[in-house]
A and B are shown apart, each in its own frame.
Chain A
Amino acid sequence: MTQQNSVLLDLSGVGKHFGGLAALSEVSLHIRRGEIYGLIGPNGAGKTTLFNVITGLYQLDAGNFTFDGARYVRCKPHVLAEAGIARTFQNIRLFANMTALENVMVGRHVCSSSGIWGALLRNAAARAEEHAIAERARELLSYVGIDRPHQTLAKHLSYGEQRRLEIARALATDPKLLALDEPAAGMNATETASLKELLQTIRGSGITVLLIEHDVKLVLGLCDRVAVLDYGKKIAEGVPEEVRRNPAVIVAYLGGDAGEAAA
């Protein structure tokens, strides 16, 4: 049980600025193993910046970042991917001219070992590994509910399928933490409902989920805990109900006065 409640991702006093603009300042988050943690906030609040920090795209300027007990300073994205952080993107970033299956197989890259010589010589070990990678990729495609022929090019999938493919590709890295940047953006109600189911299944399989989302209903219905960012600062954190009633959050979302809210 202590393992269940232990902290997986620990950010303390994290800061990131671009020139004079503080995109994140003094942000502290503790994401526990096995929870679905929501991150909400108005546009430009720093949510995606936070994602970029924890996936190694940006180096943080202040504070500490610990994942699964190890501290990460100035790390390349592929190192963090190996450590167990996988993500999807707000604007879909698939390998458009590769097949659905190949997209997922790329995600499997970290879990495979055959180097350039294995690839060139195609020895038995490399072939067996290749086979296993393809097998696992097929499982993941059906796990996220893509039932099209797996040789379909990613760019020919429907929008909802592309979002699911991104999730499958991220899951292929065997992550401990799955970070989703607005997975429901642009989805209709049915697609959102089945996404919600998928995320619950993923959590059920023991993967911690960090979710940036604008669909407040989805966040409140799905997340165990929610943090709210505004102008790069964390202004609230707690269970969804608490956060929704928090006056600071209401001001952040609706503006300081009625005039701003209307705009």
Chain B
Amino acid sequence: MSILLQQIVNGLVQGSVYALVALGYTMVYGILGLINFAHGEVVMVGAMVALMVVQLLITSALAPVLVLLIALLVAAMACMALGYGIERIAYRPLRNAPRLAPLITAIGMSIVLQNLAMMIWGREYHPFPALLPHSPHLLFGAIINDVQIIIVLVALAVMAGLLLLVHRTRLGRAMRAVAENPGAAMLMGVDVNRVISATFMLGSALAAVAGIMVSVNYGIVHYYMGFMLGLKAFTAAVLGGIGNLRGAMLGGLLLGLIESLGAGYIGDLSGGIFGSNYQDVFAFFVLIAVLVFRPSGLLGERVAERA
């Protein structure tokens, strides 16, 4: 029983991170019909920039929580600039090109960013200082620590904020209008390029938050960390129904749970042949299953041949 609960707790924490990253994929897809495969790298850059700020400020007299908040702010700004730049350089010039072209530049962008990060920050694993309390709490027999509680709560708050933004504000309305019909939105006076830039920047800010969550939770930062995380989050977005915000949130949490429960029980189920190191297999098995049985995802509408 406690193993089950423990895996659920772990899954929710991991799922919160997936959800935040998946939102970035889904927002861009909703507006441009494009998979921004460089998004995982934005998460990594967010973590790296945050680490730099933390290393700079850790010796100062500032409270650790304050240091982390400043790091978050700087990382979010850096990622927003990066997201804006990615769109300007890699996607905007190809806005009217065949759909395969921006997909290729997306992959190219991802590789370029990984290698740049390797040149700047090196190949080694960097420890991320523990700035938040890690004291464990007992929750119905499962253990959850402060950091994990904070991760889940922050993720929920950010997601609620995003839904409010998209449904209750002028920018959100413009984003939905562009997603539905860019031509008509343009003729109603919406500056489509600005809305697209804003979308990339918003998604990148969420990625920065997610990057810091991962760093704080695992205490390790690495130039390659964005790759697998990005793929998983993309899977989460597809699972929920890509293009659908609530779908990305649901898909993220579900994928976290599936992975975690899978990792927890695969040993027993397979009689010890497979271990929890097969955790990643679950994510991609889910991706394949969704694509085969419900390509539009859990909450996605069936879009007739949008591709």
Q: Which residues of the partner chain A approach B165 to less than 8 Å between Cβ atoms?
A: 119-120
A82 touches which one: B171, B172, B180, B189 (CB < 8 A)? B189
Closest to A93 in B: B184
Q: Which residues of the partner chain B approach A77 to less than 8 Å between Cβ atoms?
A: 186-187
The residues in A between 94 and 111 inclusive whose CB is less than 8 angstroms from any CB of B are: 94-98, 102, 105-107, 109-110
Asked if B60 CB lies within 8 Å of chain A CBs, one says: no
Q: Which residues of the partner chain A approach B187 to less than 8 Å between Cβ atoms?
A: 55-57, 77-78, 81, 86-87
Given known pairs A95-B180, A98-B176, the reply for A110 and B189 (CB within 8 Å) is yes
Asked if B188 CB lies within 8 Å of chain A CBs, one says: yes
Asked if B177 CB lies within 8 Å of chain A CBs, one says: yes
Are B188 and A81 in touch, CB under 8 angstroms? yes
Cα distance, A227 to B185, chains bound together (Å)? 29
Asked if A156 CB lies within 8 Å of chain B CBs, one says: no
Are A93 and B186 in touch, CB under 8 angstroms? no
Given known pairs A95-B181, A96-B180, the reply for A78 and B170 (CB within 8 Å) is no
Nearest CB of A to B76, in Å: 11
A119 touches which one: B172, B180, B189 (CB < 8 A)? B172
A173 touches which one: B170, B180, B188, B191 (CB < 8 A)? B188
Nearest CB of B to A228, in Å: 25
Given known pairs A97-B180, A109-B174, the reply for A78 and B186 (CB within 8 Å) is yes
Interface-central residue, A76, A95, A126, A133, by most chain B CB under 10 Å: A95
Q: Which residues of the partner chain B approach A105 to less than 8 Å between Cβ atoms?
A: 170, 173
Are B177 and A106 in touch, CB under 8 angstroms? yes
Nearest CB of B to A258, in Å: 41
Given known pairs A77-B187, A82-B189, A95-B176, the reply for A119 and B181 (CB within 8 Å) is no
Cα distance, A109 to B187, chains bound together (Å)? 11
Cα distance, A77 to B168, chains bound together (Å)? 25
Interface-central residue, A56, A109, A112, A173, by most chain B CB under 10 Å: A109
Nearest CB of A to B294, in Å: 20
Please count how many residues in chain A sit with their CB below 8 Å of the partner chain's CB atoms: 38
Are A93 and B183 in touch, CB under 8 angstroms? yes
The residues in B between 153 and 173 inclusive whose CB is less than 8 angstroms from any CB of A are: 165, 168-173
Cα distance, A231 to B301, chains bound together (Å)? 42
Are A119 and B184 in touch, CB under 8 angstroms? no
Please count how many residues in chain B sit with their CB below 8 Å of the partner chain's CB atoms: 24
Say whether chain B's binding surface is mostly helix, strand, loop, or mixed.
helix
Given known pairs A106-B174, A119-B170, the reply for A78 and B192 (CB within 8 Å) is yes
Cα distance, A258 to B183, chains bound together (Å)? 41
Cα distance, A55 to B187, chains bound together (Å)? 7
Are B183 and A78 in touch, CB under 8 angstroms? no
Given known pairs A95-B176, A102-B173, A133-B170, the reply for A57 and B184 (CB within 8 Å) is no
Nearest CB of B to A227, in Å: 22
Q: Which residues of the partner chain A approach B176 to less than 8 Å between Cβ atoms?
A: 95, 97-98, 102
Cα distance, A112 to B191, chains bound together (Å)? 13
The residues in B between 228 and 261 inclusive whose CB is less than 8 angstroms from any CB of A are: none
Q: Which residues of the partner chain A approach B186 to less than 8 Å between Cβ atoms?
A: 76-78, 81
Are B169 and A95 in touch, CB under 8 angstroms? no
Cα distance, A57 to B181, chains bound together (Å)? 14
Closest to A98 in B: B176
Given known pairs A76-B186, A120-B165, the reply for A106 and B173 (CB within 8 Å) is yes
Cα distance, A97 to B245, chains bound together (Å)? 14
Q: Which residues of the partner chain B approach A189 to less than 8 Å between Cβ atoms?
A: none
Cα distance, A106 to B177, chains bound together (Å)? 7
Q: Which residues of A contact B (CB under 8 A)?
A: 55-57, 76-78, 81-82, 86-87, 89, 93-98, 102, 105-107, 109-110, 112, 114-116, 119-120, 122, 126, 129-130, 133, 169-170, 172-173
CB-based closest 7 A-B pairs:
A110-B189, A81-B189, A119-B169, A119-B171, A77-B186, A93-B184, A95-B180
6 pairs from A and B in contact (CB 8 Å cutoff)? A76-B191, A78-B189, A81-B189, A95-B180, A98-B173, A106-B188
Q: Contacts A94-B181, A97-B180, A120-B169 known; list 6 others, CB within 8 Å.
A: A81-B186, A106-B177, A106-B188, A109-B170, A116-B198, A119-B172
